[in-house]
């Protein structure tokens, strides 16, 4: 019965797409142009009675709709050599997103629903639709809530309640601080971000903001099937990034706890240039999971151990150069997980002069370096596997180049070069070469080639058979 109910909910979600199409002309600057609904006296009221009737006060609100539909097809160049793996060389997937925003006075209600499906076997779940609270399963739901929150705003503060994509980091390509949100990752190179349930109060001064955030619900990100070709070879990690003994039983932590975060942001003037500064400190269940021992032999518990964590970052711009840096630190209580620092520094430079001689309007180039430093290792008597394999990157150079040819056509390149770490020799590289073309307003086509190389047991080396070509279309309405 539950299965049929969830299928009905999915059908309603898709049907709402058809309904939202009637509002294509009503989007505001975020969702499209604004629709203004008003209740007032009739402008055409007969003048004979107009002088005798007191005009009613106007009531106004705005209601906006938008959405997007992304569909992809991709083909792997080679078959995998891994046993017991899905070996389909041609696959596809798609994501439908529907957004709405209601505003009246100082109140805003915003919502975003999604539906996703693909051909990756044993990955998508039909019975976890809208399963929101304490959602610890690993399967990707075919529909759900990306965001649903309300805002009470004033000149000096905002109060936010609901499910929302939450970000505090300042880095461009990789932010070690932005790990609160959940990711749907049937394809690990193309995750879909959904929000977390929270309550937030933020107070504003002239140049700064101060906030306190509560995260009352713990859930897990969703990933691909252990049988997927993304899982690597038979001797490596499964889809949870844990190496688990044969015939082991994994149980989930039944307890829930509230994460609390204090955050601060400010814009200051330094050497006649503005600099944005962020800092936060939090306590509660870790944003990563560990595998802990239990009292039973060959039975392990997957849990989020309590930790202190803090981050600090900055961003500033000088002419066409933007520079940023960010660091995240975790301190595990009772050494149930590693204590570590994950730091990133980088810059973006824009070329918009002389590039026309080689056929471009402008070129944006971003380079970042990411380094993790472990300050204390986990207690091996308590923890079977720490979160180390979930924490990436660790010693990486990230490069992104966006080259705009004209307002419709652009080229892009992204590279992740993992440098060797002495203890595990995890060197490798991932590169993506792509082009994007706007066919008509709101309809964009993309073509890309992805390649993987590295040591056999490295993060990217285990995907050395997964080189592929991708064709993608995105329609925004």
DSSP state letters, 429-455: EEEEEEEEEEEETTEEEEEEEEEEEE-
| Range of lowest pLDDT (139-153, 228-242, 410-424) | 228-242
pLDDT in tens, 253-284: 766 789 999 999 999 987 778 899 999 999 99
* Mean pLDDT over each residue of the chain, to the nearest integer: 84
Q: Do the bridges between strand 208-215 and strand 259-270 make them parallel or antiparallel, or are there none, so unpaired?
A: antiparallel
Q: Return the CATH number at 241.
A: 2.40.160
Residue 14 phi/psi, 5-degree rounding, is -65, -40
Sign of CA dihedral 391, 392, 396, 399: negative
Q: In degrees, to the nearest 5, what angle opens at C-alpha 66 toward C-alphas 64 and 70?
A: 170
Q: Using the predicted structure, report yes or no on whether residue 138 has a pLDDT greater than 90.
A: no
Predicted TM-score (pTM) of the model is 0.82
With contact defined as beta carbons under 8 Å apart, do 340 and 331 qualify? Answer: no
Q: CA-based Rg of the chain, rounded to a whole angstrom?
A: 25
pLDDT in tens, 352-386: 988 988 899 999 999 999 999 999 999 999 999 99
Say if 161 falls within a structural domain.
yes
Q: Using the predicted structure, report yes or no on whether residue 28 has a pLDDT greater than 50.
A: no
More confident residue, 3 or 76: 76
Q: Using the predicted structure, report yes or no on whether residue 92 has a pLDDT greater than 90.
A: yes
Say if 313 falls within a structural domain.
yes
How far apart are alpha carbons 105 and 300 in whole angstroms?
52
Say if 140 falls within a structural domain.
yes
Say how many domains are in the chain. 1
More confident residue, 8 or 181: 181
Say if 277 falls within a structural domain.
yes
Cis peptide before 393 (omega within 30 of 0): yes
Above pLDDT 90, what percent of the chain? 59
Say if 48 falls within a structural domain.
no
Q: Using the predicted structure, report yes or no on whether residue 99 has a pLDDT greater than 60.
A: yes
Contacts of 205 (CB under 8 A, 6+ apart): none
Other beta carbons within 10 angstroms of residue 347's beta carbon come to 14
Q: What is the pLDDT of residue 127?
A: 78
pLDDT in tens, 42-77: 444 344 444 455 565 566 889 999 999 999 999 999
Say if 44 falls within a structural domain.
no
* Structural domain that includes position 21: 2-39+57-476
Query: What's the whole-number mean pLDDT along residues 130-155?
Result: 87
């Amino acid at each position: 019965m539950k299965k049929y109910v969830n299928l009905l909910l999915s059908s309603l979600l898709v049907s709402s797409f058809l309904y939202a199409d009637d509002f294509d002309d009503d989007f505001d600057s975020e969702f499209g142009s604004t629709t203004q609904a008003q209740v007032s006296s009739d402008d055409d009221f007969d003048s004979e009675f107009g002088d005798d009737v007191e005009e009613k006060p106007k009531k106004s609100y705005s209601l906006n709709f938008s959405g997007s539909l992304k569909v992809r097809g991709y083909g792997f160049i080679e078959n995998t050599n891994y046993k017991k793996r899905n070996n389909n060389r041609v696959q596809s997937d798609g994501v439908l997103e529907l957004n709405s925003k209601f505003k009246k006075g100082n109140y805003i209600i915003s919502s975003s629903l999604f539906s996703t499906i693909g051909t990756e076997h044993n990955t998508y779940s039909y019975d976890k639709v809208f399963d929101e609270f304490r959602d610890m399963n690993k399967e990707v739901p075919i529909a759900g809530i990306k965001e649903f929150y309300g805002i009470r705003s004033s000149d000096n503060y905002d109060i936010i309640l609901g499910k929302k994509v939450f970000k505090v980091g300042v880095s461009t390509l990789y932010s070690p601080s932005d790990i609160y949100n959940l990711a749907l990752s049937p394809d690990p190179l193309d995750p879909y971000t959904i929000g977390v349930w929270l309550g937030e109060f933020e107070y504003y001064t002239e140049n700064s903001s101060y906030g306190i955030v509560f995260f009352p619900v713990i859930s897990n990100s969703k990933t691909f099937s252990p049988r997927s070709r993304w899982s690597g070879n038979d001797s490596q990690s499964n889809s949870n990034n844990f190496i688990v003994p044969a015939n082991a039983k994994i149980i989930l932590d039944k307890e829930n706890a509230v994460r609390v975060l204090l955050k601060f942001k400010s814009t200051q003037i330094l050497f006649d240039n503005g600099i944005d500064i962020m800092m936060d400190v939090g306590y509660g269940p870790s944003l990563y999971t560990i595998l802990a021992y239990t009292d039973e032999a060959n039975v392990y518990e997957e849990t989020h151990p309590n930790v202190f964590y803090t981050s600090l970052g900055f961003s500033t711009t000088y002419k066409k150069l933007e520079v940023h840096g960010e660091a995240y630190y975790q301190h595990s209580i009772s050494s149930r997980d590693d204590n570590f620092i994950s730091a990133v520094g980088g810059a973006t430079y824009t070329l918009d002069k002389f590039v026309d001689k080689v056929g471009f309007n402008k070129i944006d180039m971003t380079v970042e370096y990411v380094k993790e430093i472990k300050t204390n290792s986990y207690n091996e008597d308590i923890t079977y596997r720490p979160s180390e394999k979930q924490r990436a990157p660790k010693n990486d150079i990230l490069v992104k180049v966006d080259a705009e040819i004209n307002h419709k056509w652009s080229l892009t390149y992204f590279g992740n070069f993992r440098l060797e770490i002495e203890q595990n020799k995890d060197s490798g590289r991932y590169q993506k070469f792509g082009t994007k073309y706007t066919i008509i307003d709101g309809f964009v086509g993309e073509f890309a080639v992805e390649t993987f190389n590295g040591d056999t047991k490295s993060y990217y080396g285990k995907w050395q058979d997964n080189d592929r070509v991708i064709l993608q279309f995105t329609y925004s309405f």
